[in-house]
Amino acid sequence: MKFNTKTIHGNQEHDPSTGAVMPPIYQTSTYAQSSPGVHKGYEYSRTANPTRTAVENAFASIENGKFGLAFGSGLAAIDCVMKLLSPGDEVISTNDLYGGSYRIFTKIFENYGIKFHFIGMENADKIEDFVSEKTKLIWVETPTNPMMNIIDIDAVSAVAKKHQILLAVDNTFATPYLQNPLNLGADIVMHSATKYLGGHSDVVMGALVVNDAVLADKLYFIQNACGAVCGPMDSFLVLRGIKTLHVRMQRHCENGKAVAEYLANHPKIEKVYWPGFKSHPNHEIAKKQMKDFGGMVSFVTKGNSIKDAFKILENLKLFTLAESLGGVESLSGHPASMTHASIPKAEREKTGVVDSLIRLSVGIEDIEDLLADLDQALSLV
């Protein structure tokens, strides 16, 4: 089955009890047993719920994995992966990382005795300098948020395999429409399904997909033991979102390209970060591992002024100034004070997240309207 068919039919079946084409929202915490321990596969909804099972199966299908797990948020999914580790273990992670991931790593898991190395991974050979026998996990985000750096998953996977380290990839930005990390050698794919998979800015959810049965069992155990699961209504919404992922992503990519090119040619713009440009330092890797370049674009205006950045953000009308990304509607954001506020300024600026940086999540509206909106806001600075 090919990708566009998988988003709609992958691992899905009609409801066995009624034939309902869409899975019902099984709003129940518990399930009748005919005799102690004799049941139809469901006992208690923290452990499993049929609507959640449907979305977990969809996650597995679209990421070309065998096992999918759904959580109450992307961070709950990350939390589950980190609980595979023990005190003394070390993690090597991308330095240009989603702020919430950085926060849970440094503010929560460092307290439990896990050590993190945040490094630039554009050159995979550099990773080896940080590998020791304590290294248990490599955590990659690509494209990175918000600088749109591209990391060669295949190359990082070679290092991980050589040293028998687990490789996890946060695939939130790219989505499985653009890249499938499991096919590139990753062991775990993680998503904030809140973003493109849900796609309509109406639900918070996280996902993990793996191929290895032993690893899946460990993750299922943590999911059930720690309990950060999502409810059936949210499962239904994300399942519905996934059914249009491919058509939405196609338009996100088209509009993203048009916005990036418009900004690159604008006299008031200093720099645009988008992996589709030939001049992007990792463009060739992006071309190799991604089907297209996505709908996320970051930029700084000439003069690098925070006042100008704020003026643009306050005056954009269709690009709503808001946290998050990946919905059908265009959003704008100021990483330094919003998504990346939890990263210290000095750390942030090392990776390019300066105070004047603006990040756009380009939606699927008519491109003429989006460009006109950018035009009017830029005319004010």
Ligand X SMILES: *Cc1c(COP(=O)(O)O)cnc(C)c1O
Binds ligand X (CB under 6 A): choice among 170, 234, 292, 355 = 170
Look at residues 255, 294, 334 and name the one whose alpha carbon lies nearest to residue 149.
294
As measured in angstroms, the least distance from the Cβ of 265 to ligand X is 28
Residue among 61, 215, 235 nearest 137 (CA): 215
The question of whether 52 is a catalytic residue gets the answer no
Task: Tell me whether residue 170 is one of the annotated catalytic residues.
Answer: yes
- One of 15, 42, 46, 240 is an active-site residue; which one? 46
Q: Which stretch binds ligand X (CB under 6 A): 59-67, 73-81, 86-94, 177-185?
A: 73-81
Residue 152 falls in which region: left (phi positive, over 0), alpha (psi -120 to 50) or beta: beta
Among 50, 65, 74, 181, binds ligand X (CB under 6 A): 74
Give the list of residues 6+ apart from residue 309 with CB closer than 8 angstroms, or none: 300, 301, 334, 355, 356, 357, 358
Question: What's the min distance (Å) between Cβ of 298 and ligand X?
Answer: 13
Distance CA 334, CA 336 (A): 6
Ordered alpha helix ranges (H), the chain: 3-9, 50-62, 74-82, 99-103, 153-162, 175-178, 213-226, 232-242, 245-264, 283-289, 306-315, 345-350, 367-378
Contacts of 163 (CB under 8 A, 6+ apart): 128, 131, 135
144 sits near ligand X (criterion: CB under 6 A): no
Q: Which is nearer to ligand X, 61 or 145 (CB)?
A: 145
CB of 323 to ligand X, least distance (A): 8
C-alpha span between 146 and 368 (Å, rounded): 24
Q: How far is the CB of 245 from ligand X (least distance, A)?
A: 16
Which residue in the set 174, 204, 237, 285 belongs to the binding site for ligand X (CB under 6 A)?
204
Residue showing tokens 């909106």: 373
Q: Does 176 bind ligand X (CB under 6 A)?
A: no
Catalytic pick from 26, 52, 98, 196?
Answer: 98
Q: Which two tokens stand for residue 189?
A: 């794919």
Residue of the chain from 23, 206, 275, 335 that contacts ligand X (CB under 6 A): 206
Helix, coil or strand: residue 177: helix
Residue (51 or 101) nearer to ligand X, CB? 101
46 is catalytic: yes
Among 54, 70, 75, 182, contact with ligand X (rule: CB under 6 A): 75
Residue from 11, 12, 49, 73 that binds ligand X (CB under 6 A)?
73
Q: Report long-range pairs for 309-313 (Cβ below 8 Å, ≥24 apart).
A: 309/334, 309/355, 309/356, 309/357, 309/358, 310/334, 311/377, 311/380, 311/381, 312/358, 312/377, 312/378, 312/380, 312/381, 313/358
From the candidates 6, 195, 248, 348, give the one annotated as an active-site residue.
195
For ligand X, the closer of residues 75 and 160 by Cβ is 75
* Binding of residue 194 to ligand X (CB under 6 A): yes
Q: What is the spatial distance between Cα 381 and Cα 106, in angstroms, rounded to a whole number?
A: 38
Smallest separation, CB 378 to ligand X (Å): 26
Q: Provide the minimum distance between the beta carbon of 242 and ligand X in the complex, in angstroms, as a whole number.
A: 15
Active site annotation includes 195:
yes
Closest CA to 201 of 349, 350, 322: 322
Q: Which of 8-16, 32-40, 83-91, 165-173 is the region at the interface with ligand X (rule: CB under 6 A)?
A: 165-173
Query: Which positions are annotated as active-site residues?
Result: 46, 98, 170, 195
Q: Where on the chain is the footprint of ligand X (CB under 6 A)?
A: 73-75, 98, 100-101, 141, 145, 170, 172-173, 192, 194-195, 204, 206
